[in-house]
Amino acid sequence: MPVKQLFGIVARSGKIPCLAGTTDFARLSGLKWPDYQRYLNIQASQARFLGCRMLRLFLQAESRAEFGTALGRVVEFASSLRDLEIVLETHRGWETHPDGLNHLLAQTEIRLVVDFANVRERAVREVLLKDVPQRRIAYFHIRNLPTRPERPSLAACEARAEEAFPQHPFLWEPKTLSGWRAVEAFRTYLDRAPLASTDVATFSP
């Protein structure tokens, strides 16, 4: 979707938008760090144009060593931004390992976008549900709607999160539906069980 068209949709949504940036801070997609920073600045510019307050990123770190490097780059990039908050998604990397999650929480103030489908260890899911301060979570991704179960094994976990974090936004993120099929499924859900209003909408230009 053209960014200009997306601008109008975002403006009419009445939500606080978050740009769903796609990044690889561990390997930099084969680029050098100065060049990758210019790529990041393109995404930051898109976020500003859309009126976003947050920019969601991925570490893509698969080991402890990659995690340290990637997180250092994120902190450096975040320090250059004064008008955007950087948030990190749990994305199957080292940030979903107990040591990585603990380090991220203890050594930075970066908030999380929690996607339980990308957290392999049940113990880490429990930490996210019980031990992470609410202020450290930006919002949640969910894969199930009551009218559209996509990952039934996660339904109980997602329900517990909604109960434990009643003031947090929850973003439905189906993987087996897209486009108008996803819109229609969401409308069906709204018709049957109206969704509580949330403050955040996430967009990918």
The pLDDT tens digits of the residues spanning 168-190 come to: 999 999 999 988 899 899 988 88
SS3 assignment, position 20: strand
Task: Please spell the DSSP secondary structure of 139-155, one letter per residue.
Answer: EEEE--BTTB-S-GGGH
Is residue 21 pLDDT above 90, yes or no? yes
pLDDT in the model for residue 16: 81
Q: What percent of the chain has pLDDT over 90?
A: 78
Residue 193 confidence class, pLDDT cut points 50, 70, 90:
low
- Domain coordinates in residue numbering, the chain: 3-193
CA distance 91 to 57: 10
C-alpha torsion 42→199→176→44, nearest 10: 0
Q: According to DSSP H, which parts of 83-154 are helical?
A: 98-107, 122-130
The pLDDT tens digits of the residues spanning 111-121 come to: 999 999 999 99
3-193 CATH, one of 3.20.20.150, 3.50.30.30, 3.40.640.10, 3.40.309.10: 3.20.20.150
- SS3 labels along 26-81: CCHHHCCHHHHHHHHHHHHHHHHHCCCCEEEECCCCCCHHHHHHHHHHHHHHHHCC
The two structure tokens encoding residue 178: 């897209």
